[in-house]
Structure 1
Amino acid sequence: MAGAAGVGIVALLAAFRFDPGHVLADRLRILAVTLAVVGLWSVAAIGNVARIRFLSTLSIDGGDADPAVAHGRAIAQNTLEQSVLAAIAYAALTLATDRSAVPIAVLALCFSVGRAGFWAGYRRGAAARAFGFALTFYPTVLALLAALVLAIRG
């Protein structure tokens, strides 16, 4: 988990260093792309639950009798929670600094790799999904804190 957090944080700090700065219109365009990427992960998670329910005689009526449905719902719930935090962080960072375009692109990449890792490791337990969770969560938290500091400093 610490390794994933470290990877995400180093990637984000490097992105800030190499971003030359962009006008607001360009930053908003990149924000739109990154928000769409994040949103597609929620679409995939919700679609996965629907697919599992459709194929399950135990859960097609809306219940959670099939353990696969419960797992799918847990992944969808966590993905939704992470998506909300990411959307807030990306938007705040976009508005707080003109050097946000590269960092939010890197954040969206971390989010995608992290969600894929979380999803792939979910059935194998907490240790298997920890890397994915950390790669999604910690860079987002750092982005929120950076946006706050940058907005206050002006």
Structure 2
Amino acid sequence: MSQKRGMILAGMATGALWAIGLLWIGAQIPVPIAMIQPVLMGAVFGPGVVLMLMIARLAQRRFGDDTAIDGQKLTGGAAVDQAVLTNTLEQVVLALCIWPLVGFFLGAGTVLVLGLGFVVARLLFWGGYHLSPPLRAFGFAATFYPTLFAAVWVILRLVSG
């Protein structure tokens, strides 16, 4: 196994542990089910702010670069920012599809923690990608795995009755 693959695997494994920790912490936070709607809105606010920061950074890069101002293909750090934005948008859409039922079945506290964890993980993904592409593995896994594990947990609860 190459050193790069080893770094990516370590990031993925650490992201899986992060996911388990987030779900465990979220399960400990008692939030009345009547609060699910405001909690869901609050949980997706953080990811929305991260998207806004990424969009703003990309717009700033385009504005400041004569080779990109007219919509040309991005290069260098701007291309990394575009890739991060695209992946973050994918993760936000996934969260919006999954988190409402997670909140209903696993508790609103779980969704609140997922939202906070999302913000931290996405910022680490963004920074890691700029430092060295294999370092983005943790941020990716720490964003994707909590939603994945929560979805599996909901499915298991639905199947088991």
Q: TM-score, normalised by structure 2?
A: 0.84
Distance 1:87 1:43 in 2: 16
Where structure 2 has 5 or more consecutive residues not aligned to the other structure, the ranges are 1-10
Distance 2:133 2:70 in 1: 29
Distance 1:83 1:136 in 2: 9
Matched, 1:9 2:16: no
Match of 2:32 among 15, 22, 25: 22
CA contact (8 A) 2:62 2:68 kept: yes
Return 140-149 or 107-116, whichever deviates more: 140-149
Secondary structure, counterpart of 2:22 in structure 1: helix
Which of structure 1's runs of 4+ aligned residues deviate more than 3 A?
151-154
Aligned residue number for residue 107 of structure 1: 114
Distance 1:35 1:49 in 2: 21
Aligned residue number for residue 118 of structure 1: 125
Higher relative contact order (CA 8 A, sep 6+): 2
Secondary structure, counterpart of 1:63 in structure 2: coil
Distance 2:23 2:100 in 1: 15
Q: TM-score, normalised by structure 1?
A: 0.87
- Quote the sequence identity (%): 33
Distance 1:100 1:116 in 2: 25
Aligned residue number for residue 78 of structure 1: 87
CA contact (8 A) 1:56 1:66 kept: no
Amino acid at match of 2:143: T
Match of 2:138 among 131, 137, 145: 131
Matched, 1:39 2:45: no
